[in-house]
Amino acid sequence: MTGAVITITITLLVVGGITGSVVAYFRLLRHRADAVAMAEFRRLAEELPAVQQALHSQLGALDERLRSIENLLRSVG
């Protein structure tokens, strides 16, 4: 009887160890994927001010053109 208990205990410990290792491995993979995604978000966040400044400049140029067109239309009308 004690031999069976010892065998079952050893088997459960081995299975538990393997299960724990597999779970830890997949958690590691998930964290690596999260780290890659976070690095991409950081890169995009660093580029954002330059892109916003370029858009702001383009909007200023469009605003200037629109004002000149409005002035032209008012002088004609």
- Summarised one tens digit per residue, pLDDT across range 46-65 is 999 999 999 999 999 999 99
Q: How many helices (H) and strands (E) does the chain have?
A: 1, 0
Place of tokens 């890169």: 43
Entry pTM: 0.51
Q: Give the pLDDT band (50/70/90) at residue 1.
A: confident
